[in-house]
Structure 1
Amino acid sequence: MLPIVYLNGEFVPKASATLHVSDLAILRGFGIFDFFRYVQGKPRFVEDHLNRFFRSADKIGLEMPVSKDELRAVVMELIKRNELDDGGIRFVLTGGYSENGYTPTTPNLIGMAYPFPPLPRELTDNGANILLHEYQRQFPTVKSIDYLEGIRIQPMLKERGADFVLYVDQQGYVRESDRSNYFIVVDGKLITPAADVLEGITRMHLLRLAQQLGLPTEERAIHRDELLAADELIICSSAKAALHARSVDGKLVGDGTAGPITRKLQAAWPAYYLAH
């Protein structure tokens, strides 16, 4: 985390940015967040991220204490005060200080800036190893601070040599990763789930980019069996962009290398990204 933090209307050193222990984010894990990158001092897809942040707040009944214009100004001030051209911004909105430990009150709003190191070269060159795991987030369209399952299974992923997880629901449909969306490619068509998943900003823009490139796309449910037979698999997020998956549960995806559709998206993404 970079030195200067925004907390409830003030910019303070991170060592001074404190919350009371009665905050529902601490007591109950009740709160939301959003995260996005900035490059050359310019936040990328910022309107999309702020819109999602406000939607998440509305969906769980938290009142945003600032307007979008005010929050946009906070973004630029965080970038300026932390004096780093390339990085990431995380906003967190908590349930507030609760006397009974259960009832939300006035939310606390925190803004933090981070360095943004690139993905390890080994991961981008060789692709990610994916593990399927039966789990479904209880409120998938909200970007909540509840990452209990994703964090709990980190030792299991390490033990099995997996980089990331994909969650599978009780009907066998693959929904999303803990911090990413995904696409499969079948017979040249790019397919991604649309229902009961987080409205990923990178996912949305990859769909737009694919359409610009003339690639066929489809949004629908994807069963585990279809995913395991897919020609290509792409994991996507602000941090990963379009990262190809090498294997799923130890089985190679295609020949294990990035397929032609993945390579087209990866080649076109940097210019598209910088234009937005």
Structure 2
Amino acid sequence: MSRIVYLNGDYLPEEEAKVSVFDRGFLMADGVYEVTSVLDGKLLEFEGHLKRLERSLSELDMDKPEGFDDLLEIHRELVKRNDVEQGGVYLQITRGAADRDFVYPKDAKPTLVLFTQSKPLLDTPAAANGISVIFADDIRWGRRDIKTVQLLYPSMCKMMAKAAGADDAWLVEDGFVTEGSSNNAYIVKGNKIITRGLSNDILHGITRASLLKYASEAQMEIEERNFTPDEARDADEAFISSASTFVMPVVKVDGSVIGDGTPGAVSKRLREIYVDESRKRAI
């Protein structure tokens, strides 16, 4: 049985969902997206994702699509129709279909697409054993705080990591780690959690914001600052965060084993806290 997807007001079998070849998301990567995790059939961090989506649209001077005010209902309906217990709901908004031109069209109607993906989020081998990362040059555009659909370089970085026998890449610019290819990056040194501060250089992670809040409430020490690749190699622990990974331990950085090569106490505790708190707040 095929998935049911949402496209511009209609719930359709995925085989019947069609978008114009003139859609600017296809021609120009002129679109934004969000991914909301689903746990126990409920949505995690929905309000945070919605707020960031509105910010992305505003930063690109993109109109809200029809149905925007019904997004919570649409998310829940897709989760129900597709019987999703664990996984996520992908949402994408583009500026719409118009004749190809670099100038924003005046009368294009935004395209709104949502679909679900079922996959395990909790008891995964990666969470139990940790992942490995390599370093790659960060050559992306300067507005990484806008969650756009132009994801070719992150895809290339993941392929670089795969070719090197690793799981992911941490990006480096001007001698400092910015973030992972699709996640925020952290190291732990002397029980202090260190992660890059917010700016246009990184995505303002929804999971990141909640995680730092929970860590602070648990009396964990946090330092938001740039850190170097050498600091990462020499860290006591390392981990990433994202909507789909929650808190994921990193046990090897650029070939250097972190700690004893197994997930550390801080990252394991943070993952437990994040999952527990997220379940309490799920809608």
TM-score, normalised by the number of residues in structure 1: 0.93
- CA–CA distance in structure 2, aligned partners of residues 223 and 144 of structure 1: 26
Percent identity, aligned pairs only? 31
Aligned 8 A contact 1:24 1:101 in 2: no
Q: Which residue of 2 aligns with 1:206?
A: 211
Q: Which residue of 2 aligns with 1:159?
A: 163
Aligned 8 A contact 1:185 1:232 in 2: yes
Structure 1 alignment gaps of length 5 or more: none
Q: Which residue of 2 aligns with 1:31?
A: 31
Deviation at residue 260 of structure 1 after TM alignment:
2.2
Q: Which residue of 2 aligns with 1:148?
A: 152
**1:155–1:267 CA distance, 2 compared to 1 (3 A):** closer
Structure 2 alignment gaps of length 5 or more: none
**1:67–1:192 CA distance, 2 compared to 1 (3 A):** farther
Question: Which of 168, 184, 187 is equivalent to 1:181?
Answer: 184
Q: Which residue of 2 aligns with 1:86?
A: 86
In angstroms, what is the RMSD of aligned CA positions? 1.9
Aligned 8 A contact 2:2 2:13 in 1: no
**One-letter code aligned to 2:98:** S
Q: Which residue of 2 aligns with 1:240?
A: 245
- CA–CA distance in structure 2, aligned partners of residues 86 and 240 of structure 1: 12
Give secondary structure in 2 for the equivalent of 1:184. Answer: strand
Aligned 8 A contact 2:134 2:169 in 1: yes
Matched, 1:255 2:226: no
Deviation at residue 4 of structure 1 after TM alignment:
1.1
- CA–CA distance in structure 2, aligned partners of residues 84 and 227 of structure 1: 36
**1:9–1:29 CA distance, 2 compared to 1 (3 A):** same
**1:68–1:23 CA distance, 2 compared to 1 (3 A):** closer
- CA–CA distance in structure 1, aligned partners of residues 168 and 158 of structure 2: 9
Q: Which residue of 2 aligns with 1:57?
A: 57
**One-letter code aligned to 1:177:** G
Give secondary structure in 2 for the equivalent of 1:131. Answer: strand
Alignment deviations for residues 111-139 of structure 1 (CA, whole Å, 9 cap, x no partner) = 11111224784322321110010114312
Alignment deviations for residues 63-97 of structure 1 (CA, whole Å, 9 cap, x no partner) = 11246542112112222222333331111011211
Give secondary structure in 1 for the equivalent of 2:22. Answer: coil
- CA–CA distance in structure 2, aligned partners of residues 236 and 35 of structure 1: 13
TM-score, normalised by the number of residues in structure 2: 0.90
Aligned 8 A contact 1:2 1:112 in 2: no
